[in-house]
Structure 1
């Protein structure tokens, strides 16, 4: 019984060290220009936010500072896919995001390593 309690406590502590999942269909966002634009405007304080995107937005500074240390493997994979698609197909949105979240370029090297 003690082992089960310890295991449950460990799993609870581990779960607290990772970000909660956000229910966003990345492929839907990338295939819907209007939705992508709305979400990107939210992220740079130029438009309203849905609760899900607001949760993501609130974590972006910490994600950049820690190089996504609290991200699950799935979140890292989805984040990399999303960034690569946006940089390639929507460079203006990418430029706006970088200008907003990293105007001095202090995260560029680590972020590029993360993407590779």
Structure 2
């Protein structure tokens, strides 16, 4: 479950020295949630079912590290946006969420960290 959190918070990020560098500070979380085509495009990339934009490819490449480190290099803004997106995707697109979790956390080893992330 934590997978999508990191995907969505890292949509804005690329790896920098200490933190993931923000690509677009004006990223509109609501726009992604309201634009099913855009959301599906991002998801297809992450699920290896479609092409990736350069920005989403960067996210996909950083996803394993972000999961392992519990988003240690994410900025506070990235974490907040990721939390908002994760909560909404879980609620509005549960099938998509299940697919992402199945691919990126098949053993469920990030479940506890994810619950803690959403609780804070």
Query: Taking structure 1 as the reference length, what is the TM-score of the superposition?
Result: 0.82
Q: 2:67 aligns with which of 64, 68, 75?
A: 64
**What are structure 1's unaligned runs of at least 5 residues?**
1-14
What is the CA-CA distance between 1:70 and the residue it aligns to?
Answer: 0.6
Partner of 1:54: 57
**What are structure 2's unaligned runs of at least 5 residues?**
1-15
Give the structure with higher Rg (CA): 1
Partner of 1:19: 20
Higher relative contact order (CA 8 A, sep 6+): 2
Runs of 4+ displaced beyond 6 Å: none
Partner of 1:31: 34
Q: Deviation per CA, 1:32-74, whole angstroms, max 9, x where unpaired?
A: 1111111101011111111111111111111111111111000
Query: Taking structure 2 as the reference length, what is the TM-score of the superposition?
Result: 0.80
Q: Is the strand fraction higher in 1 or 2? A: 2
